[in-house]
Amino acid sequence: MLTASYAGNRTITIAEAEPVSPAQGQVQIKVAYTGLCGTDLHILHGNMDARVSTPLVFGHEMSGTISALGDGVTGWRVGDAVTVMPLDWDGTCPACLAGNQHICQNLNFIGIDSPGSLQGYWNVPSEVLVALPSTLRLDHAALVEPTAVAVHDVRRGNVQPGDKVVVIGGGPIGVLIASVAREFGGEVVVIELDPNRRAQIGELGFETLDPRETNQVDWVTQWTDGAGADIVFEVSGAAAAVLGATDLAKVRGTLVVVAIHPVPREINLQRLFWRELTILGARVYQRVDFEKAVELLDGGIIPADLLITKIVPLTETQDAFGDLEGGLAMKILVDVQAGS
């Protein structure tokens, strides 16, 4: 089989390797597709070198079929279509004991802290498997993981029918949040600088705003009859977006910070105070989010074809990251079996 590894120094190495038999409690998955995401790009850029051990076979947004079962695995069969919720918690830390296993204080994120799915055959503990329905295409199923992120964010923001929702940043996660929020009954506007992305998002039926052309505070105030938005999702990662986001929310409204902000950001605490706002952090997902994500993709609620800009063979993984970096793609899938 072929593997793609982050080798340090912004380099991906493609190598041949022998598949390993699954250990007790593990299953071996024949990986079909692996999506490349912003976190993978952070790894490639060396931003996470303090955390990852190289060479690292990375990748964690995936789909595939079970190819072998380790001893003691029950409830699964060879050939089952699956995806993976790549969280391996210790079950004993204070966060786990309080029921927040998904953000375990000693979390092993599979594909970052241990090997991921950019390889032909991948062994994982059976506990992390999520079943896929036969009606869901495997390329679309590679979007289950990022869709689960969006479901988690929308649940965390508690979007209710009729809520006015602002999504700042129209990249793949922004589009997924907008799609899920609409499915939960929200009315959504997406704020995005890039005109091509705005056009794509507009075709999905969402309002869009260019904040350089339109005063976003005036627009949102008018859209909400003077109240402000119920929920604002910050998905852009930009300092200016964070600083402006609090001005968009209603009294007792919510700002969900989804984007990674590696350095502290200025927040308008005067506005937080004045309107008694809530700011929430949201990280990864819980099993309920994965199950909802499968349902939304299977039901055609998620615009999978728009999000998947292209599918490349594993040998072209490095170039694919180049396209992501340049903003030329929403989501690129690696066809892990192609060329192997």
Q: Is 329 in the site for its own copies (CB under 8 A)?
A: no
Q: Is 60 a catalytic residue?
A: no
Distance CA 337, CA 260 (A): 31
Distance CA 225, CA 110 (A): 46
Cα dihedral value 51, 54, 60, 61, nearest 10: 110
159-162: Cβ within 8 A, 24+ apart = 159/184, 159/185, 159/186, 159/230, 159/231, 160/184, 160/185, 160/186, 160/230, 161/185, 161/186, 162/186, 162/187
Of these residues, 11, 13, 39, 92, which one is catalytic? 39
Distance CA 247, CA 199 (A): 25
CA distances (Å), 331 to each of 30, 113, 118, in order? 21, 23, 15
Distance CA 131, CA 218 (A): 46
Q: Is 156 in the site for its own copies (CB under 8 A)?
A: yes
- Binding-site size for its own copies (CB under 8 A) equals 43
Q: Is 94 in the site for its own copies (CB under 8 A)?
A: yes
> How many CB atoms neighbour CB 179 within 10 A?
26
Question: What letter would DSSP give residue 259?
Answer: S
Q: Closest Cα to residue 34, out of 15, 60, 8?
A: 60
Contacting range for its own copies; rule: CB under 8 A; set: 129-137, 141-149, 167-175, 268-276? 268-276
Instruction: For the CB of residue 237, give the shortest distance to its own copies in the complex, in Å.
Output: 10
Contacting range for its own copies; rule: CB under 8 A; set: 38-46, 178-186, 223-231, 327-335? 223-231
Considering the complex, state which of residue 100 and residue 340 has its C-beta at the smaller distance from its own copies.
Answer: 100
Q: Residues of 155-173 as b/e, b for ≥16 C-beta within 10 angstroms?
A: bbbebeeebbbbbbbbbbb
Amino acid identity of 55?
A: P
Three-class secondary structure of residue 300 per DSSP: coil
Considering the complex, state which of residue 93 and residue 204 has its C-beta at the smaller distance from its own copies.
Answer: 93
Q: Is 162 in the site for its own copies (CB under 8 A)?
A: no
Considering the complex, state which of residue 93 and residue 301 has its C-beta at the smaller distance from its own copies.
Answer: 93
Among 251, 310, 325, 328, binds its own copies (CB under 8 A): 251
Q: Is 267 in the site for its own copies (CB under 8 A)?
A: yes
> How many CB atoms neighbour CB 16 within 10 A?
9
Among 20, 204, 227, 301, binds its own copies (CB under 8 A): 227
Of these residues, 3, 11, 13, 42, which one is catalytic? 42
Among 132, 228, 229, 324, binds its own copies (CB under 8 A): 228
Instruction: For the CB of residue 316, give the shortest distance to its own copies in the complex, in Å.
Output: 31
Considering the complex, state which of residue 1 and residue 229 has its C-beta at the smaller distance from its own copies.
Answer: 229
Q: Is 204 in the site for its own copies (CB under 8 A)?
A: no
Q: Is 42 a catalytic residue?
A: yes
Q: Is 268 in the site for its own copies (CB under 8 A)?
A: yes
Q: Is 98 in the site for its own copies (CB under 8 A)?
A: yes
Q: Is 283 in the site for its own copies (CB under 8 A)?
A: yes
Instruction: For the CB of residue 268, give the shortest distance to its own copies in the complex, in Å.
Output: 5
List of residues 6+ apart from 240 with CB closer than 8 A: none
Residues with catalytic annotation?
A: 39, 42
Residues that bind its own copies (CB under 8 A): 93-95, 98, 100, 103, 105, 156, 224-228, 242-243, 250-252, 257, 260-283
